[in-house]
A and B are shown apart, each in its own frame.
Chain A
């Protein structure tokens, strides 16, 4: 179980920053949208971990990022023919792309990733 430290005002939690930076990598690789498991899998590969992010933790964080206006989501239009359930597809917003870039820069500089632009 992961104990999430309380959030400092105006900052992103580590998981939120990880989601945004992973989504940015996928976005720049030409994947405009992503779904929950695909994101969890990409995050696992990036941190070379054996375990996938827990369901509750992942979808709760995605919901928060959507509330912040950094992501949008819609259901897949039609279910797949092979019986696969419809996926919820997420996309970085323009604000989300800026936040992801800033989070990467903050992490590289050893700072806590910020939610909004501010003094460095």
Chain B
């Protein structure tokens, strides 16, 4: 049985954990990364022992990651508040929107063809949300560039 989907999903979860723990104090980041690695290993081993299909295991891993995104972000924010200049940076917002859209596409790909309409819906919502954020950011950026210093009368 091929395990490609499971490996890809586990790799995506690991990359996400490394991303949101970057620049955190080393013991805190290492603990979270270690816990998720052990969890992924145990989860995959448990499902494979039960004979669960590669697709279902991958779906389950992605579902756990996607549903935990808000908690991951708030956990990180509590330890190291997101810097305003980074959050407000045009490029960073667009990059984040692209990343969210990419996760949405993956969610749809994994959810499609399986009985996981919830995951497909989450994927669609993520893509629509990312598109809206991108358009809004580009629009604001356009207004900011068009306005010259000293001409703002409001």
Contacts and interface: CB of A to CB of B under 8 A. Distances in A.
Contacts of A56: 65, 67-72, 75
Residue of B34, B42, B74 contacting most chain A CB atoms (<10 Å): B42
Interface residues of B, number: 29
Contacts of A85: 34, 37-38, 41
B46 A41 contact: yes
Nearest to B122: A1
A75 interface: yes
Interface in B54-112: 60, 63-72, 74-75
A60 to B, nearest CB: 5
B32 interface: yes
Interface residues of A, number: 25
A51 B34 contact: no
B35 interface: yes
Given A55-B36, A60-B72, 20 more contacts: A1-B66, A1-B69, A1-B122, A2-B67, A35-B39, A36-B38, A51-B64, A51-B67, A54-B63, A54-B65, A54-B68, A54-B71, A55-B64, A56-B71, A57-B71, A59-B32, A59-B36, A60-B75, A63-B75, A84-B42
13 contacts: A51-B63, A51-B67, A52-B64, A54-B65, A54-B71, A55-B17, A55-B65, A56-B71, A57-B68, A84-B45, A86-B38, A87-B42, A88-B35
